[in-house]
Amino acid sequence: MREAARRVELGVERAGLLRWPELVAVLEGAALPADVHARVPEPESPPLPDAFRLAGGEVVAERTGSGAARGVSG
């Protein structure tokens, strides 16, 4: 995505707001969509819980620790 953003002269965050067909078209020489600078990224979602456990047949998420988020995959 960084290379595509560089080629279309947009920041990575702004280039990420393009739909796939729009990105392909722009990389092939089409103009940027007129509303690309007005688009707003979706707000970040809350962090995932540290652990999931099963309780009564349902999945229950729980946070552990001091509240600091930790990644679960590399």
More confident call, 2 vs 58? 2
Please state, as a whole number, how many other Cβ atoms lie within 10 Å of the Cβ of residue 10. 19
Instruction: Give the rounded distance of the alpha carbon of 56 from its chain centre.
Output: 33
> Average pLDDT of 13-28?
87
What are 26-70's pLDDT values in tens digits? 889 898 888 888 888 777 777 777 666 666 666 565 555 555 555
pLDDT score of 67: 56
pTM more than 0.75: no
pLDDT score of 44: 78
